[in-house]
Amino acid sequence: MRFYKLLSLLTLLICLIGSCKKDSYPGATPSPYISIFDIRDLYKQSPVKLTKENMYGATALTGMVSSDQSGGNLPSGIITVQDSRRLSKLRGIAIDLGSAATGYQPGDSLIISIEGGTLERKDGLLQITGLDAAAVQKVSTGGALPLNRATVAQIQASPGDYESVYSVIIKGGFDPLPEKGATLEGTKNLNDGFGTISLVTERSAAFAGHEAPVLANYYGIVFNQEQGDSLIPSFRLRNENDLAVLSSEITIPPVIITGFMSDVKGGDGNYEYVQFRALQDIDFSQTPFSVVVSNNANASTPTGVPSKGWATGGLRTYKINMFTGTVKSGDFFYVGGTGKTINGSGSTSMATSKWIRAYDYTVLNGEGFGDAKGGLMANSGNAFGIALFADSAVTAASVPADVIYISGGGSLYNSTSGYRITNNDFYDIKNPITLEDQPFFHQGTNTLWFSYNTADLGYFNMLGGVYNLKLGRWTTARAQNNLLLEKTSPVSLIEGEGATQIISQ
């Protein structure tokens, strides 16, 4: 019996070994479709003949058309298609189809047999050549292309990732600003506050004669040109519907927020302050302003969503009025506690700086609303905000002239109430893509804010950016440049290198 058991086990073992040799598992069947992400990765600075072997067993790609030849502004003979099959990364590629390219519209879903084609960069554009119309199968039409919001900085940092992809650059303006009546035709510098890119409009484009707007959203396709070993991106609208005008007028705020000291080294009482910079000449006795600070700690009362917004009062919002003094365009000036020093008790005096209002917030209630408090601004935790109003009267309906926020936690808004924002480098009263109303902080796309610094060290929060008076916009959005001050630090440090620049060229 034991012999037969051993014989059976030996026979089973031989069968298992034999079956492994005869029927080794071949793995998963390769997909016939390769992602555009993987196609682009095949290119190594020289043309590549596309084969089933180098495409990992695939012979075709699927994608949605993003180009539109009918507008007359894209390189002729090509279509651009995009997909996000690989790692959900949206990528695009150009396909050279010659005269057949005019037969495809944005939103067409295609299957393209690319085996035998060549992947190469021609005129700076990575594309697949050597195909004919028979290689393309149209599966459906009218699909919705995803809205791919891209800043100019993102495009320039990774031009290959955005090439041939349908994208939108929001709040773009020209630098220099075209003369009144100037058209889109030609190559213009388009700035979105994060960088500048060339907007190319061919003379043959159906919309070349459209007037160049002051501010607009630009929908279109990124194309690259080779410059040495680098790729230089440019942007092209596809048709007249790719331009969404936001403004035809230049609107300049009278004052901008350029920094703040929310936590000095040592006790904060009466030593916190906000730094502003004037963009026009102001006599505050003739046109009073006010600044409101909001704090949203869970213990701050009244709790919940602020039904009166910036005018809520209590421990949530505190207002200081500005009704005396004058400033000239370009001046730095300050509003805050009565201490008037750069970094708390015993530090450099700022008494000779331009103080429009020094107010004892530790003893006095706010002017109109707000309870006296030991610290004007929060040091950590939930969101706190600073809003400048071109009026001394502030209500739930008041819209700031400028506003910033630090952190984003707490009960901040619902569909009808909250802290109102303004159009600036961080916020938009209307969603810049959908144009839906979003008047409150933390609503829609209004979710940007600065960060808290480590408490009780004496950081001045310098908000460095570039504001162009001639263009009426931020050409470089504000960024948080944290300066760790000493007790002996000079005032020139917070008004010098890294501070917001005002240019008028």
The number of CA neighbours under 13 Å toward the Cβ of 313 is 9
**Residue 285 burial by CB count (10 A; 0-12/13-18/19+): exposed, middle or buried?**
exposed
| pLDDT tens figures, 256-287 | 999 999 999 999 999 999 999 999 999 999 99
Structure tokens at 263: 């936590």
DSSP 341: B
CA distance 461 to 469: 23
For residue 25, count other CB atoms closer than 10 A to its CB. Answer: 6
pLDDT beyond 60 at 136: yes
Reported as half-sphere exposure (CB side, CA atoms, 13 A), residue 168 has a value of: 17
**Rg from Cα positions in the chain:** 30
In this prediction, residue 28 has a pLDDT band, given cuts at 50, 70 and 90, of low
Residue 19 has pLDDT above 80, yes or no: no
The fraction of the chain above a pLDDT of 70, given in percent, is: 94
The number of angstroms, rounded, from the C-alpha of 486 to the middle of its chain's C-alpha atoms is: 34
Q: Hey, is 225 helix, strand or coil?
A: strand
| Residue of 237, 248, 493 whose CA lies nearest to 347 | 493
Under 8 Å CB-to-CB from 93, ≥6 apart: which residues?
36, 39, 40, 61, 63, 80, 81, 82, 126, 127, 128, 164
pLDDT-derived band at 470 (thresholds 50, 70, 90) equals confident
Q: Which residues of 208-238 are buried (b: 16+ CB within 10 A; e: fewer)?
A: bebebbbbbbbbbbbbbeeeeeebebbbbbb
Specify the DSSP class assigned to residue 395.
-
Domains of the chain: 36-140 (2.40.50.140), 152-247 (2.40.50), 250-505 (2.60.40.1260)
Give the whole-angstrom CA distance, residue 394 versus residue 332.
24
Q: Which residues contact 132 (CB under 8 A, 6 or more apart)?
A: 97, 98, 100
Q: Which two tokens stand for residue 321?
A: 């009025």
154 closest CA partner among 197, 125, 214: 197
| Residue 249 clears pLDDT 90, i.e. is over it | no
Over the stretch 373-394, which tens digit does the pLDDT of each residue have?
999 999 999 999 999 999 999 9
Cβ atoms of 334 and 275 closer than 8 Å: yes
Quote the mean pLDDT of the chain.
92
Most confident of 13-22, 195-204, 245-254: 195-204
Which pair of structure tokens corresponds to residue 28? 């998963």
Give the whole-angstrom CA distance, residue 391 versus residue 286. Answer: 11
